[in-house]
Amino acid sequence: MTILNKLQLKSLLKSSGNVQKDLFAEALLVRQKYFGNNVYLRGIIEFSNICQKNCYYCGIRKNNKSVQRYRMEMSEIEACLDFIKQANYGSVVLQSGEMLDEISKEFLLKIVQLIHQKYPELGITLSCGEFDFDFLKKLKEAGAHRYLLRIEASQKLLYEQLHPSDHSFENRVEVLKNLKKLNYQVGTGNLIGTPYQTLDDLVEDLMFFQKMDFDMFGLGPYVPHENTPLFETDYVKHWGIKKEEILNTTLNFIALLRIMMPTCNIATATALDSLHSKGRILALQAGANVIMPSVTPQSRREDYFLYQNKSSVDAGADETLDLVLDKVLEAGFIPVFGERGNAVHFCNRM
């Protein structure tokens, strides 16, 4: 395995031209070795946009009063699941804002139980925030396999610049550790290109990911949303210029992560499509191996607006899948249906 020091990582993170080409070629070789041309698919259901948190960058933060809040009915979720089965997805991802009250927890537990009973073959991933150990254990026992919790920024200072003071960096790390203790396949990720972030922060993120030995990653570019505090920073004035730089840095980051952690699953973020029409495909070509088309009903999509220009807001689940498949096939990758697509890294770890 190639071992890169911090200086090399920093320089490769900003690479372009031939150096970047070589970087992608090496990452692609590693990707081919463990996954061939396969791309694992997960259907993602954004079942609620209600959130008790106030992350400075996020469009559905609690204090954004212009968002129409929803939590899907169980029947609506069941319809999404039926679509997932009919389309032969091997895994489902349940994503929502963070709600830690008993009613919300009970509801989530019911969804997991329902999926486990009705579709025991489906891989179940949750992405619903910082639950305590006991509740994460309950969800695991009910049938959940994987959990995604982005650290967003592994450096405490930057984390605190991106979140209000009642958000705890320590607790986030603690929850990630608990997820590992509970034998979840654990995924994390960061936001790339936020105000205040330096290349050194990104190098530390790579080191943190490796040190914590995570199984999966879902990372992506920061895309401003106008109803958020972060939008107000000077940075936004430079967004037009920064866009390409952020796209490049994100792709370089993915390639480096693939080289550093060859067997982990790396998902391509939908946010990449806000920077480039083929953003998610470029990520596959830089080493990512998972894509998560939204199966959220079209009527809900404009209310799950984490950032501006979110792609496929005007499409339904079947149209979204078709669009994704066209691009994946066109780029020469093989979409994998009917398989959970566990992280090889996790299987080795167990």
Q: Which residues bind ligand SF4 (CB under 6 A)?
A: 51, 53, 55, 58, 60-61, 97-98, 129
Q: Which residues, numbered 93-152, are part of the site for ligand 5AD (CB under 6 A)?
A: 150, 152
Confirm or reject binding of residue 208 to ligand 5AD (CB under 6 A): no
In whole angstroms, the minimum distance from the beta carbon of 150 to ligand 5AD comes to: 4
In whole angstroms, the minimum distance from the beta carbon of 273 to ligand 5AD comes to: 11
Confirm or reject binding of residue 223 to ligand 5AD (CB under 6 A): yes
In whole angstroms, the minimum distance from the beta carbon of 20 to ligand 5AD comes to: 23
Confirm or reject binding of residue 271 to ligand 5AD (CB under 6 A): yes
In whole angstroms, the minimum distance from the beta carbon of 31 to ligand SF4 comes to: 28
Amino acid in position 230 = L
Residues in the chain: 350
Q: Which does residue 77 bind out of ligand 5AD, ligand SF4, none, counting CB within 5 to 8 angstroms by kind?
A: none
Q: Which does residue 92 bind out of ligand SF4, ligand 5AD, none, counting CB within 5 to 8 angstroms by kind?
A: none
- Contacting range for ligand 5AD; rule: CB under 6 A; set: 116-124, 198-206, 215-223, 241-249: 215-223
CB 217 within 8 A of CB 164: no
CB 271 within 8 A of CB 191: no
Residue number with CB closer to ligand SF4 (189 or 262): 189
Q: Which does residue 97 bind out of ligand 5AD, ligand SF4, none, counting CB within 5 to 8 angstroms by kind?
A: ligand SF4
Nearest to 220 by CA among 276, 301, 169: 276
Q: Which does residue 225 bind out of ligand 5AD, ligand SF4, none, counting CB within 5 to 8 angstroms by kind?
A: ligand 5AD
- Contacting range for ligand 5AD; rule: CB under 6 A; set: 100-108, 220-228, 275-283, 285-293: 220-228
Confirm or reject binding of residue 231 to ligand 5AD (CB under 6 A): no
Residue labelled with tokens 């705890």: 168
Residue number with CB closer to ligand 5AD (20 or 308): 308
Angle at which helices 133-142 and 102-118 cross, to 10°: 20
Residue number with CB closer to ligand 5AD (150 or 180): 150
Among 47, 56, 57, 159, binds ligand 5AD (CB under 6 A): 57
Among 81, 115, 136, 191, binds ligand 5AD (CB under 6 A): 191
Residue number with CB closer to ligand SF4 (96 or 265): 96
In whole angstroms, the minimum distance from the beta carbon of 329 to ligand 5AD comes to: 27
Q: Using H for helix, E for strand and C for coil, what is the string for the chain?
A: CCCCCHHHHHHHHCCCHHHHHHHHHHHHHHHHHHHCCEEEECEEEEEECCCCCCCCCCCCCCCCCCCCCCECCHHHHHHHHHHHHHCCCCEEEEEECCCCCHHHHHHHHHHHHHHHHHCCCCEEEEECCCCCHHHHHHHHHHCCCEEECCCECCCHHHHHHHCCCCCCHHHHHHHHHHHHHCCCEEEECEEECCCCCCHHHHHHHHHHHHHHCCCEEEEEECCCCCCCHHHHCHHHHHHHHHHHHHHHHHHHHHHHHHHHCCCCEEEECHHHHHCCCCHHHHHHHCCCCEECCECCCHHHHCCCCCCCCCCCCCCCHHHHHHHHHHHHHHCCCEEECCCCCCCHHHHHHC
Nearest to 71 by CA among 44, 43, 99, 91: 99
The contact pattern for ligand 5AD, residues 283-312, with x = CB under 6 A and - = no contact, is -----------------------xx-----
Confirm or reject binding of residue 225 to ligand 5AD (CB under 6 A): yes
Q: List interacting residues with ligand 5AD (CB under 6 A).
A: 57-58, 150, 152, 191, 220, 222-223, 225, 271, 306-307
